[in-house]
């Protein structure tokens, strides 16, 4: 009798446990069933399989100094594979990764529809958020770092599809100084109000350039999120920033003393206000001919490109 | 005698309206992206907006100071031109 009672009790307990664990990630239709499997092999291989409903996302990353990674995404309606390799041994490898991200994004651009890439990016984002808090993952490892390149590729395609423009990716400067993983600035969202609060609370006294940043944050304080490229553009335009990265990379590669009198090279070297930066009248490459407070006000107002007649053709902040 | 005659005011208003009309045509139709055009546009537009508002006020002061409103065609035309120009340029900043 006692044995039967204990058996019934154990059976009921197991049944409840199984029912509870199954209900945790499953809704009635079973559409939102999700699971994450992580397989690690020493420090040279990482495999993450994420399943959600019809979606299967497989991230693989292997190697030590030269890391090859891929993401395969498949569902009932679509399939996509992104590939990325990175050679950490090569000089200044970080300075060219944004171009390689763009190259892969452009390759895949016509292989997916707008709806598919939006769905894929949501799944990828969900996986990313889960992994950041997962104790099984070392988020600073080189193997996992590749995950961010695939994120950038997918988001670049998504932005291109939504905006109907070429893929674009301005690298987050934090990546170059090991303060952040790879992100396209356009995808990195910040809450301007919290940023502003952080600056105010820290009692930091901004210099003349930084005051423009503070003013900008105040002007967008009511937005819940803004992409960080808008903030960085207050200090330096995207084109000037990318030009600077290219210059540093080519300098590193050539490793030559700059003795040329070539004017264009000098323009890149001199710390002059560029023709496409805020405050310079007009928008052109090279150093600024003439700067004015009027043009600074004009550039500041033209951040949103409205009204179109008031801003320069093509509407760039410069 | 005033520094700016009604005739001068008329031509100034016409010039301002013509400038903003050119900006409009370039932004939506011509789309010329010359460096010098961009330079001038960025440097001159804001001051001209301020001048436009000034001329708008001045034109109406002149208009209301006229005893016979029909006696000075230049003044009346000035008011019409600058009103349309100011309404469209300043108004476009508030259209989202």
Instruction: Give the confidence band of A12 by pLDDT, cuts at 50, 70, 90.
Output: low
What would the pLDDT profile of A249-290 be if each residue is shown by its tens digit? Answer: 887 777 644 444 455 555 445 567 777 788 888 887 778 888
Q: Which residues pair with A189 in a beta bridge?
A: A227
Omega into A307 within 30° of 0, i.e. cis?
yes
The rounded percent of chain B whose pLDDT value lies above 90 is: 45
What would the pLDDT profile of A67-123 be if each residue is shown by its tens digit? Answer: 888 888 887 667 788 888 888 777 778 888 899 898 889 888 888 888 888 888 888
Cross-chain CB nearest to A308 (options B27, B45, B47):
B27
Nearest CA in chain B to A292: B43
Instruction: Give the confidence band of A318 by pLDDT, cuts at 50, 70, 90.
Output: very low
A312 and B41: CB-CB below 8 Å? yes
Chain A: nearest CA to B93, how far in angstroms?
6
Nearest CA in chain A to B20: A309
Strand order in the sheet with A66-74: A34-41, A45-52, A55-62, A66-74, A79-87
Task: Pull the structure tokens for residue A104.
Answer: 């892969």
- The runs of H, that is alpha helices, within chain A are 2-24, 97-108, 114-132, 142-163, 173-176, 192-201, 208-219, 228-235, 238-254, 263-269, 293-301
Query: Chain A contact for B36, CB < 8 A?
Result: yes
Task: Pull the structure tokens for residue A316.
Answer: 């760039």
Cross-chain CB nearest to B39 (options A281, A299, A306):
A281
Task: Locate the domains of chain B by residue range.
Answer: 6-92
B42 and A310: CB-CB below 8 Å? no
ipTM strictly over 0.95? no
* Mean confidence (pLDDT) of chain A: 79
Across chain B, which distance is largest between two alpha carbons, in Å?
Answer: 49
Chain B: nearest CA to A298, how far in angstroms?
6
Task: Pull the structure tokens for residue A128.
Answer: 């990313």
Chain A: nearest CA to B23, how far in angstroms?
6
Per-residue confidence (pLDDT) for residue B13, from 0 to 100 = 94
What pTM was estimated for this model as a whole? 0.56
B47 and A294: CB-CB below 8 Å? yes
CA dist., res. A80 & res. A167, Å (int) = 17
What would the pLDDT profile of A177-227 be if each residue is shown by its tens digit? Answer: 888 889 999 999 989 888 888 888 887 787 777 788 888 888 888 888 999
Closest by alpha carbon to A193, among A221, A230, A234?
A: A221
Would you call B63 exposed, middle or buried from its count of C-beta atoms within 10 A (0-12, 13-18, 19+)? Answer: middle
Is residue A165 predicted with pLDDT exceeding 70?
yes
Mutate to test the interface with B, among A289, A310, A316 (most CBs of B within 10 A): A310
Neighbours of A237 (CB within 10 A): 23
More confident: B47 or A235: B47
């Amino acid at each position: 009798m006692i044995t039967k009672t204990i058996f019934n009790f154990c059976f009921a307990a197991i049944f409840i446990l199984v029912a509870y664990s199954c209900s945790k990630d499953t809704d009635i239709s079973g559409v939102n069933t999700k699971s994450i499997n992580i397989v690690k092999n020493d420090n040279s291989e990482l495999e993450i399989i994420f399943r959600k409903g019809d979606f299967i996302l497989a991230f693989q990353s292997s190697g030590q100094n030269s890391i090859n990674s891929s993401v395969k995404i498949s569902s009932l309606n679509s399939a996509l594979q992104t590939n990325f390799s990175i050679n950490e041994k090569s000089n200044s490898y970080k300075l060219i990764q944004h171009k390689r991200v763009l190259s892969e994004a452009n390759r895949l651009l016509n292989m997916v529809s707008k709806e598919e890439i939006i769905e894929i990016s949501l799944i990828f984002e969900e996986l990313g958020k889960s992994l950041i808090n997962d104790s099984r993952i070392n988020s600073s490892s080189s193997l996992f770092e590749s995950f961010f390149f695939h994120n950038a590729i997918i988001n670049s395609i998504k932005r291109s599809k939504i905006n109907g423009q070429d893929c674009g990716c301005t690298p987050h400067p934090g990546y170059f100084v090991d303060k952040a993983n790879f992100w396209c600035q356009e995808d990195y969202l910040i809450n301007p109000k919290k940023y502003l609060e952080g600056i105010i609370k820290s009692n930091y006294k901004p210099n003349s350039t930084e005051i423009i940043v503070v003013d900008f944050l105040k002007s967008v304080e009511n937005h819940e999120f803004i992409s960080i490229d808008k903030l960085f553009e207050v200090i330096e335009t995207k084109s000037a920033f990318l030009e600077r990265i290219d210059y540093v990379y080519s300098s590193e590669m050539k490793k030559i003393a700059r003795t040329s009198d070539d004017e264009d090279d000098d323009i890149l070297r001199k710390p002059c206000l560029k023709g496409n930066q805020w405050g310079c009248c007009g928008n052109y490459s090279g150093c600024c001919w003439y700067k004015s407070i009027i043009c600074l006000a004009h550039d500041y107002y033209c951040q949103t490109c409205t009204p179109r007649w008031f801003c320069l053709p093509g509407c760039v902040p410069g | 005698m005033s520094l700016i005659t009604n005739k001068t005011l008329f031509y100034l208003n016409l010039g301002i309206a013509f400038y903003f009309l050119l900006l409009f045509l370039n932004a939506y139709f011509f789309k010329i992206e010359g460096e010098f055009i961009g330079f001038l546009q960025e440097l001159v537009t804001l001051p001209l907006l301020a001048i436009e508002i000034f001329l708008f006020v001045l034109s109406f002061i002149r208009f209301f100071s006229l005893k016979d409103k029909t006696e000075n065609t230049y003044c009346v035309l000035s008011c019409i031109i600058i009103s349309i120009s100011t309404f469209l340029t300043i108004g476009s900043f508030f259209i989202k």
